[in-house]
Structure 1
Protein backbone atom coordinates (compact mmCIF):
# COMPACT_ATOMS: atom_id res chain seq x y z
CA UNK A 1 0.00 0.00 0.00
CA UNK A 2 2.81 2.42 0.92
CA UNK A 3 6.48 2.19 0.07
CA UNK A 4 9.16 4.74 0.98
CA UNK A 5 12.63 4.46 -0.49
CA UNK A 6 15.57 6.43 0.92
CA UNK A 7 13.20 9.23 1.89
CA UNK A 8 14.57 12.64 2.88
CA UNK A 9 12.64 15.83 3.57
CA UNK A 10 13.79 19.29 4.56
CA UNK A 11 11.65 22.32 5.39
CA UNK A 12 12.83 25.62 3.95
CA UNK A 13 12.34 28.97 5.65
CA UNK A 14 12.84 31.73 3.14
CA UNK A 15 16.29 31.19 1.69
CA UNK A 16 17.57 29.23 4.69
CA UNK A 17 17.55 25.45 4.74
CA UNK A 18 16.74 23.63 7.97
CA UNK A 19 18.15 20.23 9.00
CA UNK A 20 16.48 17.20 7.46
CA UNK A 21 13.16 16.39 9.16
CA UNK A 22 13.30 12.95 7.54
CA UNK A 23 16.69 11.35 7.16
CA UNK A 24 16.77 8.28 4.93
CA UNK A 25 13.47 6.56 5.77
CA UNK A 26 12.73 3.18 4.19
CA UNK A 27 9.47 1.40 4.92
CA UNK A 28 6.73 -0.75 3.47
CA UNK A 29 3.15 -0.91 4.71
CA UNK A 30 1.01 -3.73 3.38
CA UNK A 31 -2.62 -3.39 2.37
CA UNK A 32 -4.88 -4.03 5.36
CA UNK A 33 -2.11 -3.52 7.92
CA UNK A 34 -2.52 -1.50 11.13
CA UNK A 35 0.70 0.40 11.79
CA UNK A 36 1.31 2.78 14.69
CA UNK A 37 4.11 5.34 14.53
CA UNK A 38 5.43 6.80 17.77
CA UNK A 39 8.22 9.22 18.61
CA UNK A 40 8.85 12.36 20.62
CA UNK A 41 7.99 15.82 19.26
CA UNK A 42 10.23 16.65 16.33
CA UNK A 43 11.07 13.02 15.55
CA UNK A 44 9.60 13.28 12.04
CA UNK A 45 6.42 11.23 12.43
CA UNK A 46 3.97 13.98 11.40
CA UNK A 47 6.23 15.01 8.54
CA UNK A 48 6.19 11.41 7.31
CA UNK A 49 2.38 11.37 7.47
CA UNK A 50 2.16 14.46 5.28
CA UNK A 51 4.39 12.86 2.67
CA UNK A 52 2.12 9.81 2.66
CA UNK A 53 -0.81 12.03 1.68
CA UNK A 54 1.05 14.16 -0.85
CA UNK A 55 0.86 17.32 1.27
CA UNK A 56 4.66 17.46 1.02
CA UNK A 57 6.86 15.92 -1.65
CA UNK A 58 10.27 14.40 -0.86
CA UNK A 59 13.44 16.44 -0.98
CA UNK A 60 15.19 13.22 -1.95
CA UNK A 61 14.03 9.64 -2.48
CA UNK A 62 10.45 8.72 -3.20
CA UNK A 63 7.23 7.52 -1.63
CA UNK A 64 4.68 5.46 -3.54
CA UNK A 65 1.02 5.16 -2.50
CA UNK A 66 -0.88 2.21 -3.99
CA UNK A 67 1.45 2.25 -6.99
CA UNK A 68 1.42 6.04 -7.54
CA UNK A 69 4.56 8.13 -6.95
CA UNK A 70 3.62 11.20 -4.88
CA UNK A 71 6.03 13.37 -6.87
CA UNK A 72 3.63 13.05 -9.83
CA UNK A 73 1.59 16.24 -9.40
CA UNK A 74 -0.94 15.15 -12.03
CA UNK A 75 -1.93 12.22 -9.79
CA UNK A 76 -2.19 14.06 -6.47
CA UNK A 77 -6.00 13.74 -6.22
CA UNK A 78 -5.80 10.06 -7.07
CA UNK A 79 -3.35 9.69 -4.18
CA UNK A 80 -5.66 11.51 -1.79
CA UNK A 81 -8.63 9.40 -2.90
CA UNK A 82 -6.62 6.32 -1.97
CA UNK A 83 -5.02 7.69 1.22
CA UNK A 84 -7.23 9.94 3.32
CA UNK A 85 -5.94 11.88 6.30
CA UNK A 86 -7.38 12.85 9.68
CA UNK A 87 -5.63 15.58 11.68
CA UNK A 88 -5.38 16.57 15.34
CA UNK A 89 -8.00 19.29 15.60
CA UNK A 90 -11.48 18.18 14.48
CA UNK A 91 -12.71 21.79 14.34
CA UNK A 92 -10.22 22.51 11.54
CA UNK A 93 -11.62 19.66 9.42
CA UNK A 94 -15.33 20.47 9.53
CA UNK A 95 -16.50 22.71 6.69
CA UNK A 96 -20.32 22.66 6.85
CA UNK A 97 -22.99 23.67 9.35
CA UNK A 98 -24.76 20.28 9.29
CA UNK A 99 -23.07 16.93 9.92
CA UNK A 100 -24.37 15.13 6.83
CA UNK A 101 -23.44 18.08 4.61
CA UNK A 102 -19.92 17.96 5.99
CA UNK A 103 -19.58 14.24 5.23
CA UNK A 104 -20.95 14.86 1.71
CA UNK A 105 -18.32 17.51 0.94
CA UNK A 106 -15.68 15.07 -0.34
CA UNK A 107 -17.95 12.93 -2.54
CA UNK A 108 -19.52 16.08 -4.00
CA UNK A 109 -16.06 17.26 -5.06
CA UNK A 110 -15.55 13.93 -6.80
CA UNK A 111 -18.56 14.77 -8.99
CA UNK A 112 -20.54 11.72 -7.94
CA UNK A 113 -24.29 11.36 -8.63
CA UNK A 114 -26.53 12.55 -5.80
CA UNK A 115 -27.84 9.01 -5.15
CA UNK A 116 -24.29 7.71 -4.70
CA UNK A 117 -23.41 10.64 -2.40
CA UNK A 118 -26.48 9.93 -0.25
CA UNK A 119 -25.52 6.26 0.00
CA UNK A 120 -21.91 7.05 0.91
CA UNK A 121 -22.88 9.62 3.55
CA UNK A 122 -25.33 7.26 5.25
CA UNK A 123 -22.89 4.36 5.11
CA UNK A 124 -19.98 6.42 6.51
CA UNK A 125 -22.02 7.86 9.38
CA UNK A 126 -23.32 4.40 10.23
CA UNK A 127 -19.76 3.02 10.28
CA UNK A 128 -18.64 5.60 12.86
CA UNK A 129 -21.93 5.33 14.81
CA UNK A 130 -22.96 8.94 14.14
CA UNK A 131 -26.14 8.40 12.09
CA UNK A 132 -28.32 9.80 14.87
CA UNK A 133 -26.47 13.11 14.62
CA UNK A 134 -26.56 13.58 10.84
CA UNK A 135 -28.79 16.69 11.00
CA UNK A 136 -27.02 18.21 14.01
CA UNK A 137 -24.67 21.19 13.88
CA UNK A 138 -21.04 20.03 14.36
CA UNK A 139 -20.35 22.74 16.96
CA UNK A 140 -22.92 21.08 19.24
CA UNK A 141 -20.95 17.82 19.31
CA UNK A 142 -18.26 16.66 21.71
CA UNK A 143 -14.63 16.52 20.60
CA UNK A 144 -14.77 12.77 20.07
CA UNK A 145 -17.99 13.04 18.07
CA UNK A 146 -16.51 15.79 15.88
CA UNK A 147 -13.49 13.64 15.16
CA UNK A 148 -15.74 10.73 14.20
CA UNK A 149 -17.59 13.03 11.79
CA UNK A 150 -14.22 14.02 10.31
CA UNK A 151 -13.41 10.31 9.89
CA UNK A 152 -16.80 9.77 8.22
CA UNK A 153 -15.95 12.52 5.75
CA UNK A 154 -12.82 10.61 4.76
CA UNK A 155 -14.67 7.27 4.64
CA UNK A 156 -17.20 8.72 2.21
CA UNK A 157 -14.33 9.13 -0.26
CA UNK A 158 -13.83 5.33 -0.16
CA UNK A 159 -10.08 5.36 0.60
CA UNK A 160 -8.02 2.18 0.78
CA UNK A 161 -5.88 3.73 3.52
CA UNK A 162 -6.39 6.33 6.25
CA UNK A 163 -3.54 8.18 7.94
CA UNK A 164 -4.37 9.47 11.44
CA UNK A 165 -2.02 12.23 12.58
CA UNK A 166 -2.45 12.32 16.39
CA UNK A 167 -6.27 12.34 16.09
CA UNK A 168 -6.80 12.05 19.87
CA UNK A 169 -4.27 14.68 20.97
CA UNK A 170 -6.94 17.32 21.70
CA UNK A 171 -9.58 14.99 23.16
CA UNK A 172 -10.57 14.04 26.69
CA UNK A 173 -10.32 10.36 27.76
CA UNK A 174 -13.89 9.61 26.68
CA UNK A 175 -13.34 11.14 23.24
CA UNK A 176 -10.03 9.32 22.90
CA UNK A 177 -11.71 6.00 23.60
CA UNK A 178 -14.43 6.67 21.00
CA UNK A 179 -11.92 7.53 18.29
CA UNK A 180 -9.52 4.66 19.04
CA UNK A 181 -12.40 2.17 18.92
CA UNK A 182 -13.46 3.64 15.57
CA UNK A 183 -9.92 3.35 14.18
CA UNK A 184 -9.63 -0.28 15.26
CA UNK A 185 -13.07 -1.05 13.79
CA UNK A 186 -12.10 0.45 10.42
CA UNK A 187 -9.04 -1.75 10.24
CA UNK A 188 -10.45 -5.03 11.55
CA UNK A 189 -13.97 -4.87 10.12
CA UNK A 190 -13.74 -2.56 7.11
CA UNK A 191 -10.27 -3.86 6.12
CA UNK A 192 -8.88 -0.34 5.66
CA UNK A 193 -5.13 0.11 5.92
CA UNK A 194 -4.45 2.30 8.98
CA UNK A 195 -1.40 4.38 9.85
CA UNK A 196 -1.94 5.85 13.31
CA UNK A 197 0.51 8.44 14.62
CA UNK A 198 0.19 8.99 18.36
CA UNK A 199 2.03 9.90 21.53
CA UNK A 200 -0.29 7.75 23.66
CA UNK A 201 1.42 4.39 23.98
CA UNK A 202 -1.73 2.53 25.02
CA UNK A 203 -3.25 3.35 21.60
CA UNK A 204 -0.63 1.12 19.98
CA UNK A 205 -1.23 -2.15 21.78
CA UNK A 206 -3.61 -3.60 19.17
CA UNK A 207 -1.51 -2.62 16.14
CA UNK A 208 0.05 -5.17 13.82
CA UNK A 209 3.32 -3.26 13.92
CA UNK A 210 4.86 -0.32 15.77
CA UNK A 211 7.48 1.99 14.26
CA UNK A 212 9.58 4.20 16.53
CA UNK A 213 11.04 7.38 15.07
CA UNK A 214 13.88 9.55 16.31
CA UNK A 215 15.69 12.39 14.53
CA UNK A 216 13.98 11.67 11.26
CA UNK A 217 14.77 7.96 11.19
CA UNK A 218 12.98 4.73 12.03
CA UNK A 219 15.08 3.41 14.89
CA UNK A 220 12.96 0.51 16.09
CA UNK A 221 10.10 -1.60 14.75
CA UNK A 222 8.24 -4.78 15.54
CA UNK A 223 5.03 -6.03 17.09
CA UNK A 224 3.74 -4.07 20.09
CA UNK A 225 5.05 -6.77 22.44
CA UNK A 226 8.49 -6.68 20.84
CA UNK A 227 8.78 -2.90 20.87
CA UNK A 228 7.31 -2.11 24.29
CA UNK A 229 9.35 -4.81 26.02
CA UNK A 230 12.40 -2.58 25.34
CA UNK A 231 11.51 -0.29 28.23
CA UNK A 232 14.99 1.14 28.83
CA UNK A 233 15.64 1.79 25.14
CA UNK A 234 12.31 3.61 24.76
CA UNK A 235 12.96 5.71 27.85
CA UNK A 236 16.35 6.68 26.44
CA UNK A 237 14.43 8.07 23.44
CA UNK A 238 12.18 10.09 25.76
CA UNK A 239 9.18 7.78 25.34
CA UNK A 240 6.89 6.04 27.78
CA UNK A 241 5.47 2.52 27.58
CA UNK A 242 1.96 1.26 28.38
CA UNK A 243 1.34 1.26 32.14
CA UNK A 244 0.86 -2.50 32.30
CA UNK A 245 4.21 -3.05 30.57
CA UNK A 246 5.88 -0.66 32.99
CA UNK A 247 4.45 -2.50 36.02
CA UNK A 248 5.59 -5.82 34.54
CA UNK A 249 9.07 -4.41 33.94
CA UNK A 250 9.35 -3.18 37.53
CA UNK A 251 8.21 -6.54 38.89
CA UNK A 252 10.81 -8.26 36.72
CA UNK A 253 13.59 -5.99 38.02
CA UNK A 254 12.48 -6.89 41.56
CA UNK A 255 13.15 -10.54 40.82
CA UNK A 256 9.68 -11.80 39.91
CA UNK A 257 9.45 -14.12 36.91
CA UNK A 258 7.09 -11.81 35.01
CA UNK A 259 7.30 -11.18 31.28
CA UNK A 260 7.79 -7.55 30.33
CA UNK A 261 5.79 -8.19 27.14
CA UNK A 262 2.45 -7.82 28.95
CA UNK A 263 0.35 -5.12 27.28
CA UNK A 264 -3.08 -5.56 28.89
CA UNK A 265 -4.38 -5.90 32.43
CA UNK A 266 -5.71 -9.38 31.61
CA UNK A 267 -2.26 -10.54 30.49
CA UNK A 268 -0.63 -9.24 33.67
CA UNK A 269 -3.31 -10.78 35.91
CA UNK A 270 -2.84 -14.13 34.20
CA UNK A 271 0.92 -13.93 34.85
CA UNK A 272 0.44 -13.03 38.52
CA UNK A 273 -2.07 -15.86 38.99
CA UNK A 274 0.45 -18.26 37.50
CA UNK A 275 3.06 -17.12 40.03
CA UNK A 276 0.80 -17.30 43.05
Structure 2
Protein backbone atom coordinates (compact mmCIF):
# COMPACT_ATOMS: atom_id res chain seq x y z
CA UNK A 1 0.00 0.00 0.00
CA UNK A 2 1.22 3.52 -0.82
CA UNK A 3 1.64 6.38 1.58
CA UNK A 4 -1.48 7.96 3.11
CA UNK A 5 -0.09 11.51 2.94
CA UNK A 6 2.83 12.94 0.99
CA UNK A 7 3.90 16.59 1.06
CA UNK A 8 6.59 17.60 -1.43
CA UNK A 9 8.58 20.82 -0.90
CA UNK A 10 5.53 22.77 0.20
CA UNK A 11 5.49 26.47 1.01
CA UNK A 12 2.58 28.43 2.43
CA UNK A 13 2.59 32.21 2.20
CA UNK A 14 0.24 34.65 3.91
CA UNK A 15 -0.05 38.40 4.49
CA UNK A 16 0.47 39.78 8.00
CA UNK A 17 -1.21 42.88 9.44
CA UNK A 18 1.39 45.10 7.77
CA UNK A 19 0.60 43.49 4.39
CA UNK A 20 4.00 41.79 4.35
CA UNK A 21 4.34 38.34 2.80
CA UNK A 22 5.23 35.75 5.44
CA UNK A 23 6.17 32.07 5.15
CA UNK A 24 4.23 29.78 7.50
CA UNK A 25 5.73 26.71 5.81
CA UNK A 26 9.08 26.77 4.06
CA UNK A 27 10.08 23.86 1.83
CA UNK A 28 8.49 21.10 3.94
CA UNK A 29 8.67 17.51 2.75
CA UNK A 30 7.04 14.79 4.84
CA UNK A 31 5.16 11.53 4.34
CA UNK A 32 2.82 9.43 6.49
CA UNK A 33 2.65 5.65 6.22
CA UNK A 34 -0.60 3.65 6.68
CA UNK A 35 -1.15 2.76 10.35
CA UNK A 36 1.53 5.14 11.58
CA UNK A 37 1.16 7.29 14.70
CA UNK A 38 2.97 10.59 14.16
CA UNK A 39 3.19 13.45 16.65
CA UNK A 40 4.12 16.96 15.48
CA UNK A 41 5.44 19.36 18.10
CA UNK A 42 6.64 22.96 18.06
CA UNK A 43 5.92 26.22 19.84
CA UNK A 44 3.20 28.66 18.72
CA UNK A 45 3.93 29.96 15.24
CA UNK A 46 6.20 27.05 14.29
CA UNK A 47 3.89 25.96 11.46
CA UNK A 48 2.60 22.71 12.95
CA UNK A 49 -1.12 23.58 12.70
CA UNK A 50 -0.62 25.05 9.23
CA UNK A 51 0.94 21.74 8.17
CA UNK A 52 -2.01 19.84 9.68
CA UNK A 53 -4.50 21.89 7.68
CA UNK A 54 -2.63 21.07 4.47
CA UNK A 55 -3.08 17.36 5.15
CA UNK A 56 -6.80 17.43 4.41
CA UNK A 57 -6.94 20.38 2.01
CA UNK A 58 -8.22 23.00 4.45
CA UNK A 59 -5.21 24.96 3.20
CA UNK A 60 -3.50 24.62 -0.17
CA UNK A 61 0.25 25.11 -0.63
CA UNK A 62 1.53 28.25 -2.33
CA UNK A 63 4.26 26.06 -3.83
CA UNK A 64 4.78 22.31 -3.92
CA UNK A 65 2.13 19.60 -3.68
CA UNK A 66 0.29 17.55 -1.08
CA UNK A 67 -1.09 14.13 -2.00
CA UNK A 68 -3.65 12.25 0.11
CA UNK A 69 -3.81 8.62 -0.99
CA UNK A 70 -2.43 9.73 -4.34
CA UNK A 71 -4.91 12.60 -4.83
CA UNK A 72 -3.50 16.11 -5.20
CA UNK A 73 -5.19 18.51 -2.76
CA UNK A 74 -5.13 21.19 -5.48
CA UNK A 75 -7.61 19.17 -7.58
CA UNK A 76 -11.00 20.56 -6.54
CA UNK A 77 -12.90 17.54 -7.85
CA UNK A 78 -11.14 15.35 -5.26
CA UNK A 79 -11.72 17.53 -2.17
CA UNK A 80 -14.50 15.36 -0.69
CA UNK A 81 -12.55 12.16 -1.35
CA UNK A 82 -9.52 13.69 0.35
CA UNK A 83 -11.50 14.80 3.41
CA UNK A 84 -13.13 11.39 3.71
CA UNK A 85 -9.69 9.79 3.65
CA UNK A 86 -8.12 12.27 6.08
CA UNK A 87 -10.58 13.49 8.72
CA UNK A 88 -9.75 16.28 11.14
CA UNK A 89 -10.46 16.98 14.81
CA UNK A 90 -9.89 20.53 16.03
CA UNK A 91 -8.83 22.15 19.29
CA UNK A 92 -12.32 23.33 20.31
CA UNK A 93 -14.93 20.53 20.12
CA UNK A 94 -17.77 23.08 20.19
CA UNK A 95 -16.73 24.11 16.68
CA UNK A 96 -17.48 20.59 15.40
CA UNK A 97 -20.73 19.85 17.23
CA UNK A 98 -23.74 20.78 15.06
CA UNK A 99 -26.78 18.93 16.48
CA UNK A 100 -28.76 19.03 19.72
CA UNK A 101 -28.49 15.27 20.37
CA UNK A 102 -25.24 13.28 20.41
CA UNK A 103 -26.28 10.53 18.00
CA UNK A 104 -27.69 13.09 15.54
CA UNK A 105 -24.39 14.94 15.62
CA UNK A 106 -22.44 11.79 14.77
CA UNK A 107 -24.89 11.00 11.96
CA UNK A 108 -24.46 14.44 10.38
CA UNK A 109 -21.35 13.58 8.32
CA UNK A 110 -22.58 10.26 6.89
CA UNK A 111 -25.96 11.86 6.06
CA UNK A 112 -24.18 14.50 4.00
CA UNK A 113 -22.34 11.75 2.16
CA UNK A 114 -25.68 10.19 1.17
CA UNK A 115 -25.09 7.03 3.19
CA UNK A 116 -28.29 4.90 3.51
CA UNK A 117 -30.12 5.33 6.87
CA UNK A 118 -29.60 1.70 7.94
CA UNK A 119 -25.85 2.05 7.39
CA UNK A 120 -25.83 5.41 9.25
CA UNK A 121 -27.38 3.79 12.34
CA UNK A 122 -24.71 1.09 12.21
CA UNK A 123 -21.91 3.66 11.86
CA UNK A 124 -23.22 5.82 14.72
CA UNK A 125 -23.37 2.84 17.09
CA UNK A 126 -19.92 1.67 16.00
CA UNK A 127 -18.40 5.15 16.49
CA UNK A 128 -20.02 5.60 19.91
CA UNK A 129 -18.72 2.21 20.99
CA UNK A 130 -15.16 2.98 19.85
CA UNK A 131 -15.01 6.21 21.91
CA UNK A 132 -16.85 4.61 24.89
CA UNK A 133 -19.77 7.08 24.73
CA UNK A 134 -22.71 4.76 23.98
CA UNK A 135 -24.54 5.71 27.20
CA UNK A 136 -24.58 9.36 26.09
CA UNK A 137 -26.16 8.82 22.68
CA UNK A 138 -29.43 10.56 23.66
CA UNK A 139 -27.81 13.40 25.59
CA UNK A 140 -27.41 17.03 24.53
CA UNK A 141 -23.74 17.75 23.64
CA UNK A 142 -23.70 21.04 25.56
CA UNK A 143 -24.31 19.12 28.81
CA UNK A 144 -21.13 17.04 28.40
CA UNK A 145 -17.67 17.73 29.81
CA UNK A 146 -14.91 19.04 27.56
CA UNK A 147 -13.31 15.60 27.24
CA UNK A 148 -16.67 13.98 26.45
CA UNK A 149 -17.43 16.63 23.81
CA UNK A 150 -14.08 16.00 22.17
CA UNK A 151 -14.77 12.23 22.10
CA UNK A 152 -18.11 12.95 20.40
CA UNK A 153 -16.31 15.14 17.85
CA UNK A 154 -13.92 12.23 17.25
CA UNK A 155 -16.87 9.84 16.87
CA UNK A 156 -18.33 12.16 14.22
CA UNK A 157 -15.12 11.81 12.22
CA UNK A 158 -14.93 8.03 12.79
CA UNK A 159 -18.44 7.66 11.33
CA UNK A 160 -17.06 8.96 8.02
CA UNK A 161 -14.73 5.93 7.98
CA UNK A 162 -11.45 7.79 7.34
CA UNK A 163 -8.11 6.02 6.84
CA UNK A 164 -6.35 8.80 8.72
CA UNK A 165 -7.37 11.28 11.43
CA UNK A 166 -5.47 14.52 11.98
CA UNK A 167 -5.76 15.94 15.49
CA UNK A 168 -4.96 19.65 15.74
CA UNK A 169 -4.16 20.18 19.44
CA UNK A 170 -7.29 18.30 20.57
CA UNK A 171 -6.38 18.45 24.28
CA UNK A 172 -5.29 22.10 24.48
CA UNK A 173 -8.58 23.28 26.04
CA UNK A 174 -9.11 20.29 28.34
CA UNK A 175 -8.37 19.65 32.00
CA UNK A 176 -6.05 16.72 32.90
CA UNK A 177 -8.98 14.28 33.17
CA UNK A 178 -10.33 15.28 29.76
CA UNK A 179 -6.85 15.04 28.27
CA UNK A 180 -6.45 11.46 29.53
CA UNK A 181 -9.85 10.49 28.05
CA UNK A 182 -8.97 11.87 24.62
CA UNK A 183 -5.40 10.50 24.52
CA UNK A 184 -6.70 7.05 25.49
CA UNK A 185 -9.21 7.27 22.62
CA UNK A 186 -6.54 8.36 20.13
CA UNK A 187 -4.30 5.41 21.06
CA UNK A 188 -7.25 3.03 20.80
CA UNK A 189 -8.04 4.30 17.27
CA UNK A 190 -4.47 3.64 16.19
CA UNK A 191 -3.78 0.32 17.93
CA UNK A 192 -7.22 -1.36 17.74
CA UNK A 193 -8.88 0.27 14.71
CA UNK A 194 -5.64 0.65 12.68
CA UNK A 195 -6.42 4.28 11.85
CA UNK A 196 -3.42 6.37 10.88
CA UNK A 197 -2.91 9.23 13.35
CA UNK A 198 -1.26 12.63 12.93
CA UNK A 199 -1.35 14.34 16.31
CA UNK A 200 -0.39 18.02 16.68
CA UNK A 201 0.34 18.93 20.29
CA UNK A 202 2.43 21.07 22.63
CA UNK A 203 2.24 18.52 25.47
CA UNK A 204 5.47 16.52 25.30
CA UNK A 205 4.08 13.59 27.31
CA UNK A 206 1.55 13.00 24.50
CA UNK A 207 4.42 12.23 22.13
CA UNK A 208 6.26 9.51 24.06
CA UNK A 209 4.29 6.59 22.58
CA UNK A 210 4.34 7.81 18.97
CA UNK A 211 6.00 5.89 16.15
CA UNK A 212 7.65 9.12 14.99
CA UNK A 213 8.03 12.65 16.34
CA UNK A 214 8.42 15.67 14.05
CA UNK A 215 9.71 18.94 15.50
CA UNK A 216 8.89 22.17 13.67
CA UNK A 217 10.46 25.62 13.95
CA UNK A 218 9.94 28.68 11.73
CA UNK A 219 7.91 26.70 9.18
CA UNK A 220 10.48 23.94 8.75
CA UNK A 221 11.08 20.43 10.08
CA UNK A 222 14.18 20.68 12.26
CA UNK A 223 14.14 17.28 14.00
CA UNK A 224 12.52 13.96 13.15
CA UNK A 225 12.78 10.44 14.51
CA UNK A 226 11.57 7.99 17.11
CA UNK A 227 10.60 9.58 20.48
CA UNK A 228 13.76 8.30 22.19
CA UNK A 229 15.92 9.76 19.42
CA UNK A 230 14.23 13.17 19.43
CA UNK A 231 13.81 13.66 23.18
CA UNK A 232 17.38 12.63 23.95
CA UNK A 233 18.38 15.97 22.35
CA UNK A 234 17.35 17.85 25.50
CA UNK A 235 19.51 20.96 25.06
CA UNK A 236 18.63 21.25 21.37
CA UNK A 237 14.92 21.14 22.15
CA UNK A 238 15.23 23.65 24.97
CA UNK A 239 17.11 25.99 22.64
CA UNK A 240 14.01 25.86 20.42
CA UNK A 241 11.87 26.89 23.40
CA UNK A 242 10.39 23.43 23.86
CA UNK A 243 10.08 21.23 26.92
CA UNK A 244 10.85 17.53 27.06
CA UNK A 245 8.91 14.82 28.94
CA UNK A 246 9.36 15.22 32.71
CA UNK A 247 11.25 11.94 33.11
CA UNK A 248 13.63 12.87 30.28
CA UNK A 249 14.29 16.20 31.96
CA UNK A 250 14.88 14.49 35.31
CA UNK A 251 17.25 11.97 33.72
CA UNK A 252 19.19 14.82 32.13
CA UNK A 253 19.60 16.58 35.50
CA UNK A 254 20.66 13.35 37.23
CA UNK A 255 23.25 12.71 34.50
CA UNK A 256 24.69 16.19 35.16
CA UNK A 257 25.09 15.14 38.81
CA UNK A 258 27.15 12.14 37.74
CA UNK A 259 24.48 9.43 37.92
CA UNK A 260 24.87 6.80 35.20
CA UNK A 261 21.57 6.92 33.32
CA UNK A 262 20.69 6.86 29.61
CA UNK A 263 19.45 10.14 28.11
CA UNK A 264 16.48 8.58 26.36
CA UNK A 265 14.27 7.79 29.38
CA UNK A 266 10.68 8.85 28.61
CA UNK A 267 8.36 7.38 31.25
CA UNK A 268 8.11 6.86 35.02
CA UNK A 269 8.31 3.08 34.57
CA UNK A 270 11.57 3.39 32.61
CA UNK A 271 13.02 5.71 35.26
CA UNK A 272 12.13 3.37 38.12
CA UNK A 273 13.61 0.38 36.28
CA UNK A 274 16.86 2.22 35.50
CA UNK A 275 17.26 3.54 39.06
CA UNK A 276 16.69 0.04 40.47
CA UNK A 277 19.47 -1.28 38.24
CA UNK A 278 22.04 1.16 39.64
CA UNK A 279 24.61 -0.35 41.99
Moved more, 10-19 or 207-216: 10-19
Is 2:15 aligned against 1:20?
A: no
- Cα distance in 1 between the residues matched to 2:18 and 2:55: 26
- Cα distance in 2 between the residues matched to 1:141 and 1:210: 32
Aligned residue for 2:13, secondary structure, equals strand
Deviation at 1:260, TM superposition (A): 1.4
Deviation at 1:146, TM superposition (A): 0.2
Question: Contact 2:207/2:213 (CA < 8 Å) preserved in 1?
Answer: yes
Instruction: Mark the runs of 5 or more structure 2 residues left unpaired by the alignment.
Output: none
- Cα distance in 2 between the residues matched to 1:90 and 1:249: 37
Is 2:156 aligned against 1:153?
A: yes
- Cα distance in 2 between the residues matched to 1:178 and 1:171: 10
- Cα distance in 2 between the residues matched to 1:223 and 1:165: 20
Cross-structure match for 1:126: 129
Aligned residues: 276
Shift in CA distance, 13/233, structure 1 to aligned 2, threshold 3 Å? closer
Question: Contact 2:15/2:22 (CA < 8 Å) preserved in 1?
Answer: no
Deviation at 1:113, TM superposition (A): 0.5
Cross-structure match for 2:244: 241
Cross-structure match for 1:77: 80
Equivalent residues in 2 for 1:108-257 (5 A)?
Answer: 108-257=111-260
Q: Deviations over 1:140-166 (max 9, x none)?
A: 100000000000000000000000000
Question: Contact 2:16/2:22 (CA < 8 Å) preserved in 1?
Answer: no
Shift in CA distance, 262/14, structure 1 to aligned 2, threshold 3 Å? closer
Question: Contact 1:166/1:198 (CA < 8 Å) preserved in 2?
Answer: yes
Shift in CA distance, 68/248, structure 1 to aligned 2, threshold 3 Å? same
Deviation at 1:191, TM superposition (A): 0.4
- Cα distance in 2 between the residues matched to 1:15 and 1:271: 53
Deviation at 1:16, TM superposition (A): 3.0
Q: Deviations over 1:176-222 (max 9, x none)?
A: 00000000110011000000000000000110000000000000000
Deviation at 1:12, TM superposition (A): 3.3
TM-score (norm 1): 0.98
Aligned residue for 2:65, secondary structure, equals strand
Q: Deviations over 1:17-49 (max 9, x none)?
A: 431100000111101000000000000000001
Instruction: Mark the runs of 5 or more structure 1 residues left unpaired by the alignment.
Output: none
Match of 1:2 among 5, 18, 23: 5
- Cα distance in 2 between the residues matched to 1:209 and 1:17: 35
Question: Contact 1:249/1:260 (CA < 8 Å) preserved in 2?
Answer: yes
Question: Contact 1:5/1:26 (CA < 8 Å) preserved in 2?
Answer: yes
Match of 1:56 among 47, 56, 59: 59
Question: Contact 1:10/1:17 (CA < 8 Å) preserved in 2?
Answer: no
Give me the CA root mean square deviation. Answer: 1.1
- Cα distance in 2 between the residues matched to 1:15 and 1:217: 23
Match of 1:45 among 45, 48, 56: 48
Deviation at 1:14, TM superposition (A): 8.8
Shift in CA distance, 14/235, structure 1 to aligned 2, threshold 3 Å? closer
